[in-house]
Amino acid sequence: MDQQEKNRFAERVAKILSLSNSGNEHEAAAAAAKAQELLSQYNLTMADVEGINHEDRERASLEPCRTRQTLERWAYTLAWYTSDAFDCGYYHSCDERTTVFVGVGADARVCCWTFEFLYRNLQKYARAYVKDLDPHSLLSDRERQILRRSFLVGATETVGSRLLCQKKKTPVTSKALVPVKQRLIDKVYAEAGVRRRRQRPVRIAEGAYQEGRRTGDSICLSTPVTEDSENIRLPR
């Protein structure tokens, strides 16, 4: 195959890949499968396709979730797990008090929706845990905060592991599309000047941590998603 013919097929794959950003999961899956078939059939790589610069007209989308000005460690961990599960990126905006998810097509919307659902529910379970502590134990406010935090860290780690197991069974993105999506996400990072912050170690109470891990096994990972993905709303 000469270079001209190779470029023609690479452009065809690039056009098909653009359909994989569709909010219609069936259309997106069909496009991804067809793109992989053509890559294999014509012995092309993603470098060949990216050379067409066809995807440069596509952009990753942003989905903000209202959180807090200062995000707790467990919430950062939850954001990491959730974004990984849906092949997205994320960053926290202190000024706007939001955690922003970056993804292609419907990925960011579903990722944000899932994070918000889990973020609220984990806090609800943590409040119940602290409330059920022995009222005669004479715990200080600081000690209760440590127990709450330890519970949330444990629950988040279990929930996060379950999310990644779910992704392994049913991947969100076909292998051929991963570098395409990541390039678009990295472009948003560069434009927004995103810088990762190193998380400081925190004190953990082992008993509360283990209770959180056990609770994380029973927490629902999401509410049912309807076919109308454009109108996904979190129940209040």
Task: State whether 73 and 183 are in the same domain.
Answer: yes
Q: What pLDDT is attached to residue 228? A: 40
pTM: 0.69
Report CA dihedral (166, 167, 172, 173) to the nearest 10 degrees: -160
DSSP states of 137-149? S---HHHHHHHHH
Task: State whether 7 and 77 are in the same domain.
Answer: no
β-pairing, 61-66 vs 89-93, is unpaired
| Per-run averaged pLDDT (10 residues), the chain, 236 residues | 64 65 59 67 62 54 90 94 93 91 86 92 94 77 92 96 89 76 88 75 90 93 48 33
Domain-located, residue 127:
yes
Task: State whether 49 and 65 are in the same domain.
Answer: no
Task: State whether 193 and 85 are in the same domain.
Answer: yes
Domain-located, residue 121:
yes
Domain that holds residue 26: 3-57
Q: What pLDDT is attached to residue 160? A: 95
Please tell me the distance from the alpha carbon of residue 64 to that of residue 151, in angstroms, as a whole number: 26
Q: What pLDDT is attached to residue 24? A: 57
Q: Compute the 3-state secondary structure of the chain and give helix, strand, coil in percent, each to the nearest 5.
A: 60, 5, 35
Amino acid at 158: T
Domain-located, residue 236:
no
Q: How far is CA 158 from the centre of its chain?
A: 16
Task: State whether 31 and 102 are in the same domain.
Answer: no
Q: What pLDDT is attached to residue 55? A: 42
The radius of gyration computed from the CA coordinates of the chain, to the nearest angstrom, equals 21
Task: State whether 17 and 129 are in the same domain.
Answer: no
